[in-house]
Amino acid sequence: MTRSRQLLFPCDHPAQRLDAFLAEALPDISRAQLKKLIDNQQVICDGAPTKASFKLKGGETIQISLPPPQPLEAIAESIPLDILYEDQDLIVINKPAGMVVHPAAGHSQGTLVNALLHHCDDLAGIGGALRPGIVHRLDKDTSGVLVVTKHDSAHQHLAEQFRRHSIKREYLALIHGHMSAARGSIDQPLGRHPVHRKRFSAKARNSKRAVTHWSIIDNFEQEKFSLIRLQLETGRTHQIRVHLSEAGHPLVGDPLYGKRAELNNIKDHQLRLLIRQLPGQALHAHSLGFIHPRSGDFLEFSSDIPAPLRHIIAYLRKGASAPD
């Protein structure tokens, strides 16, 4: 059965292309799917079908006819999950570093979705055949708190919160170097890198506003490392990793935005061994807060820093407290 969504383009919103607005308003639907809906005249603007390039100026009513949820195609696998909370609407997971969120090319098995399909007998297909219930994601090697929805209504509710940037997200990260102040913000638009297609950059032609707030927890003179707290105002792909790297403070262990020489230049042999045990970048999604789609209550969940990163921090703190 076809489902319908109605959106209102705000009168006070800057003019914007139809496809760009839909991509922001419906983050659970891929750009390719949106283009297909527009081309098939399943997107109606003020009563008439239109083109993806149509410029919205304010006050337009947009009706989208969505196909029914696709049948699940990912394979259920018995993979242990660290469940922080679960009810009939959603499930909150502490994702380990090294786990991919949903199946994709090169990662058809062993993902969070494969594990969820085995655990949940009430997981709907909203979000697509390979992304059931996935309303946001963490990079493969980023650990921490992630919420997954179980049905269409909860998915729409959480997706809207993410679109409005009202979700509370706090990360902990170990970085190279010392920031210039106790706290601050990075406001740099991000888009896909013009040359390296797996990377994102502030130098991209087609970029979107991205804002990361940070504050210092600890500065370590040993090897000039810092432990910082980050809060996301927006949630672009690789946002924290790119913002910190382009600010000159890449995440420790980041294979994509860091530099191999930074690890090789660490003089402390034990510290270098500890860093080599990291599965990837030293980034942990420490807490996540949102409005529950059914009760309307604000819920917040947190998880401890995983052992490999915790051991590095403990080693650095021990060095900082050692007598001269």
Which residue in this structure is represented by tokens 């504050």?
215
User: For 292, what's the count of Cα atoms within 13 Å in the CB-facing half-sphere?
Assistant: 16
Q: What is the reported pLDDT for 69?
A: 61
Q: Of these residues, 12, 19, 87, 139, which one is catalytic?
A: 139
Instruction: Write phi, then psi, for 319 (nearest 5 degrees).
Output: -65, -35
Euclidean distance between CA atoms 315 and 50, whole angstroms = 60
CATH 3.10.290.10-classified regions of the chain = 3-66
CATH 3.30.2350.10-classified regions of the chain = 169-285+307-321
CATH number of 169-285+307-321: 3.30.2350.10
Instruction: Write phi, then psi, for 15 (nearest 5 degrees).
Output: -55, 140
Q: What is the reported pLDDT for 2?
A: 60
The answer to whether the beta carbons of residues 258 and 251 sit under 8 Å apart is yes
pLDDT tens-digit profile of 251-304?
999 988 987 667 778 889 999 999 999 988 999 999 999 999 999 999 999 999
Mean pLDDT by 10 residues, the chain (324 residues): 81 89 78 87 93 93 80 79 96 95 77 90 64 87 95 90 92 96 95 80 85 96 92 92 95 87 82 91 97 97 96 89 51
Q: What is the reported pLDDT for 127?
A: 60
State the amino acid at position 4 in one-letter form.
S
pLDDT tens-digit profile of 134-158?
889 999 999 999 999 998 889 989 9
CA dihedral (316, 317, 320, 324) positive or negative: negative
User: For 33, what's the count of Cα atoms within 13 Å in the CB-facing half-sphere?
Assistant: 16
Query: For residue 86, with 0-12 CB atoms within 10 Å meaning exposed, 13-18 middle and 19 or more buried, which class applies?
Result: middle
Residues facing residue 280 across a β-bridge: none
Look up 268 and say whether it is catalytic. no
Widest CA span in the chain: 75
> CA-CA distances (angstroms) from residue 302 to 8, 102, 143?
35, 22, 11
CATH architecture of 3-66: Roll (3.10)
Euclidean distance between CA atoms 276 and 267, whole angstroms = 14
